[in-house]
């Protein structure tokens, strides 16, 4: 009790509170800009904490990293563009809600779920402080492998109305995750001589392309975010809050999922989001199906991703093993302040540890309240013409993706993945299943090899392993039974010819991957070959199905008449046109970025494309362009200096 009071007294000193507020507000800003995220903010702030005492330093750092997953909901819901990788699952139901005129409700649900989830995660962290070391010492690598295998079984819930496609999408995600240097064997897997690919496909760029670009194409096709021109009201926001309160136990369960999985090193925030989303999908409750704007699809990931921070602190504090990427940076701050993770954090430095719990809880409350305050004006954006919004979002996405490596390949990768995302969206290949496979693959592979090398096959009798495998088998089995029972039911399907082409391409890719993986050493080829083999079999089955539908095409549903099912939300006959327009816009923004630099590109692109799309007057377009350029300058030059490559035009002119 004394420790709690001491921590409270330390935390409530005015300067430390100021640091907490500063961190929280900065975290909210960082979360809202697609492509940057918590690590960016922490890397910015860690050096600034040299002069601060540890309480103020961790108030600033944890305040910031705790709330990026609160504000990242704003672009996810409004635009379908995840603010950070922690908001990707929120896109799937949050954005359809905004399209339906329920942006305020989605925000109300998301922020209140973030608040309760974040506080519940902090509480679980507080309760686990005395047990965290024994718990971490009890868990072994087979348990971590079983957790990741259980996580992958959630793909059954994400597989959508065409389960073969869902499973194939997950296998494609697994396969692409193996691109890069295999850290264990030290060999290159499908890097094609490109240094850019050594670290694999960048997660931020992948998710921006896979989810962001296709949703923007849809937005261009529709003309505005919201299909009905209704003004958002505070009543909508309160309804969302009531939705969260009505799903209280879902929030608590998902926050525990977030905290517990957050405590396992290697389980990233994206995996936690999808696992909690899949958990919620098992019981969709009232309202539309998951994928079409079910509010529980927003509540689940939002409560889990805010709770994760508390969990990730457990191995960080107890053993110095970072529970997440931001925690690796936090360990750097530990060193700066002379703190050594381990037993001392629970004895000598216990008040500081408890103050971290308070910081996470307080930041989550403050962040959610600030966001709720802005809900109504933000929700009004849903009525703004697409021609005004899309140029702004495209330029932030392009700059956000590019600033990761400052490499033109970032832009090409974004475009390539965007094209894949558009095809998957149109043809009912669930991107969520792909995302889950991608984020779980490294953990699955690494923990399997550790487990096998250390324990042989004896680990299969561990109680936790057995329990998790049984839960995975039951969950997946139930889903398979549902698929079997509904197999003959008439449902709307995409046009057969594009399906035929896409599955044919995937089949070729899978066979090529399988054959080329044969040249890798045994431990580097096992998982890629398994993924490629299963993908090839599934792609072949889908190819044959599509071929049969193409043969009987006179009776098939045409793409123009589609309404979609589950996560599937095709734009139909407008898809190609809108996708081409968006590709041209993204290409123009990329070219301008390289040609004239980030600030001039933001101005020129927003001004030019807003006028070209005919959505606003010169004056409005000019104001929008000025605002974009100033914002880019503020974030990428004032907040943190970045070494942008010299613009090509400047080089050519010899300036």
Partner 1 sequence: MKNRVARWGRAMLVGLALFLPTSVSAFDTKLVTLKVGYAPGGEYDLVARIVARHLGQYLPGHPEVIVQNVPGGGSLRLAQLMLGSEPSDGSSIGLIGSAVWVAPTLDPAVGDFDPLGLRWIGSLAAAPDSLCIVAKSLGIETVEAFREGDFILGATGRTSTGYYFASAARKALDAKFRIVTAFEGIAELELALLRGEIAGHCFAAAEDLRRAELGEHVNVVLRAAGPEESPYADVPRLRDFIEDAHMRAAVMLLEGTREFNFQFIAPKGTSEETMAVLRDAMAAMAADPAYAADMAIIDGVVLRLVPGGELETALRARLDADPDIFALARQLIE
> Measured from the CB atom, is 134 or 488 closer to partner 1?
134
> Residue 530 phi/psi, 5° resolution?
-60, -45
Minimum separation from the CB atom of position 628 to partner 1 (A)? 11
Q: Map residue 330 onto helix, strand or coil.
A: helix
Minimum separation from the CB atom of position 352 to partner 1 (A)? 16
Is 324 in contact with 264 (CB distance < 8 Å)?
Answer: no
Is 170 in contact with 436 (CB distance < 8 Å)?
Answer: yes
| Encoded tokens for 368 | 């959610």
> Measured from the CB atom, is 123 or 187 closer to partner 1?
187
Minimum separation from the CB atom of position 90 to partner 1 (A)? 25
Cα–Cα distance measured from residue 494 to residue 271, given in angstroms and rounded to the nearest whole number: 28
What are the DSSP E strand ranges found in 409-516?
Answer: none
> Measured from the CB atom, is 340 or 515 closer to partner 1?
340
214 alpha-carbon distance from chain centroid: 15
Minimum separation from the CB atom of position 526 to partner 1 (A)? 12
What are the residues whose beta carbons fall under 8 Å from the beta carbon of 636, sequence distance 6 or more?
399, 403, 598, 642, 644
Minimum separation from the CB atom of position 190 to partner 1 (A)? 14
Cα–Cα distance measured from residue 618 to residue 611, given in angstroms and rounded to the nearest whole number: 7
What are the residues whose beta carbons fall under 8 Å from the beta carbon of 401, sequence distance 6 or more?
35, 204, 205, 208, 209, 410, 411, 413, 414
> Measured from the CB atom, is 229 or 652 closer to partner 1?
652
> Measured from the CB atom, is 43 or 560 closer to partner 1?
43
Minimum separation from the CB atom of position 38 to partner 1 (A)? 11
Minimum separation from the CB atom of position 401 to partner 1 (A)? 16
User: Helices 103-128 & 234-246, crossing angle to 10 degrees?
Assistant: 40
Minimum separation from the CB atom of position 531 to partner 1 (A)? 18
| Encoded tokens for 239 | 């309804």
21 alpha-carbon distance from chain centroid: 25
> Measured from the CB atom, is 104 or 611 closer to partner 1?
611
> Measured from the CB atom, is 156 or 202 closer to partner 1?
202
> Measured from the CB atom, is 363 or 611 closer to partner 1?
611
Ramachandran bin of 495, using left for φ above 0, alpha for ψ from -120 to 50, beta for the remaining angles: beta
Minimum separation from the CB atom of position 595 to partner 1 (A)? 9
Q: What count of Cα atoms within 13 Å lies in the side-chain half-sphere of residue 601?
A: 28
| Encoded tokens for 218 | 């849809």
> Measured from the CB atom, is 110 or 578 closer to partner 1?
578
> Measured from the CB atom, is 137 or 505 closer to partner 1?
137
Minimum separation from the CB atom of position 84 to partner 1 (A)? 15
| Encoded tokens for 13 | 């000193």
Q: Where are the alpha helices (DSSP H) in 223-381?
A: 234-246, 248-262, 269-281, 296-319, 325-336, 350-373, 375-380
């Amino acid at each position: 009790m004394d420790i709690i009071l001491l921590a409270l007294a330390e935390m409530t000193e005015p300067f430390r509170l100021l640091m907490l507020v500063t961190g929280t507000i900065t975290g909210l800003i960082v979360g809202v800009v697609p492509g940057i995220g918590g690590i960016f903010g922490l890397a910015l702030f860690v050096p600034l904490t040299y002069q601060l005492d540890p309480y103020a330093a961790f108030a600033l750092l944890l305040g910031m990293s705790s709330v990026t997953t609160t504000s990242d909901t704003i672009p996810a819901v409004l635009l379908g563009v995840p603010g950070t990788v922690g908001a990707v699952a929120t896109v799937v139901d949050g954005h359809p809600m905004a399209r339906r005129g329920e942006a305020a409700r989605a925000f109300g649900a998301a922020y209140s779920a973030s608040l309760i989830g974040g506080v519940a995660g902090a509480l679980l962290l507080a309760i686990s402080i005395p047990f965290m070391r024994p718990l971490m010492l009890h868990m072994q690598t087979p348990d971590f492998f079983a957790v990741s295998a259980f996580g992958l079984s959630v793909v059954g819930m994400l597989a959508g109305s065409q389960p073969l496609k869902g499973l194939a999408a997950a296998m494609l995600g697994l396969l692409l995750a193996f691109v890069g240097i295999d850290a264990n064997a030290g060999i290159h897997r499908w890097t094609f001589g490109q240094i850019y690919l050594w670290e694999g496909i960048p997660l931020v760029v992948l998710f921006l392309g896979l989810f962001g670009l296709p949703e923007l194409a849809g937005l261009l096709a529709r003309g505005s975010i919201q299909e009905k021109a209704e003004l958002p009201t505070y009543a909508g926001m309160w309804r969302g809050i009531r939705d969260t309160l009505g799903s209280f136990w879902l929030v608590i369960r998902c926050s525990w999922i977030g905290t517990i999985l957050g405590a396992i090193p290697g389980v990233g925030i994206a995996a936690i989001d999808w696992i909690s989303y899949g958990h919620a999908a098992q019981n969709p409750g009232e309202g539309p199906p998951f994928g079409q704007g079910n509010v529980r699809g927003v509540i689940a990931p939002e409560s889990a991703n805010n709770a994760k921070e508390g969990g990730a602190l457990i191995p960080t504090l107890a053993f110095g093993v970072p529970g997440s990427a931001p925690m690796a940076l936090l360990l750097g701050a530990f060193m700066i302040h002379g703190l050594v993770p381990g037993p001392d954090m629970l004895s000598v430095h216990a008040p500081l540890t408890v103050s971290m719990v308070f910081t996470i809880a307080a930041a989550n409350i403050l962040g959610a309240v600030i966001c709720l305050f802005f809900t109504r004006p933000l929700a009004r954006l849903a009525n703004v013409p697409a021609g005004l919004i899309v140029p702004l979002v495209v330029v932030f996405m392009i700059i956000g993706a590019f600033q990761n490596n400052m490499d033109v390949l970032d832009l090409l990768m974004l475009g390539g993945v965007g094209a894949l995302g558009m095809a998957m969206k149109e043809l009912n290949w669930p991107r969520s299943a792909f995302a889950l496979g991608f984020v779980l693959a490294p953990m699955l592979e690494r923990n399997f090899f550790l487990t096998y090398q250390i324990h042989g096959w004896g680990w299969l009798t561990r109680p936790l392993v057995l329990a998790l495998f049984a839960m995975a088998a039951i969950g997946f089995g139930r889903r398979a039974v549902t698929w079997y029972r509904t197999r003959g039911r008439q449902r709307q399907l995409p046009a057969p010819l594009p399906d035929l082409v896409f599955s044919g391409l995937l089949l070729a890719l899978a066979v090529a991957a399988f054959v080329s993986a044969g040249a890798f050493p045994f431990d580097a080829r096992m998982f890629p070959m398994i993924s490629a083999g299963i993908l090839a079999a599934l792609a072949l089955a889908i190819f044959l199905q599509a071929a049969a539908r193409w043969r009987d095409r006179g009776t098939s549903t045409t793409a123009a008449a589609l309404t979609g099912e589950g996560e599937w939300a095709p734009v139909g006959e407008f898809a190609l046109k809108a996708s081409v327009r968006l590709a041209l816009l993204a290409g123009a923004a990329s070219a301008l970025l390289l040609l004239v630099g980030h600030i001039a590109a933001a101005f020129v692109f927003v001004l030019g494309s807003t006028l070209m799309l005919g959505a606003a007057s010169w004056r409005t377009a000019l104001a929008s362009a000025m605002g974009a350029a100033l914002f880019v300058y503020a974030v990428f030059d004032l907040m943190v200096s970045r070494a942008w490559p010299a613009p090509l035009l400047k080089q050519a002119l010899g300036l």
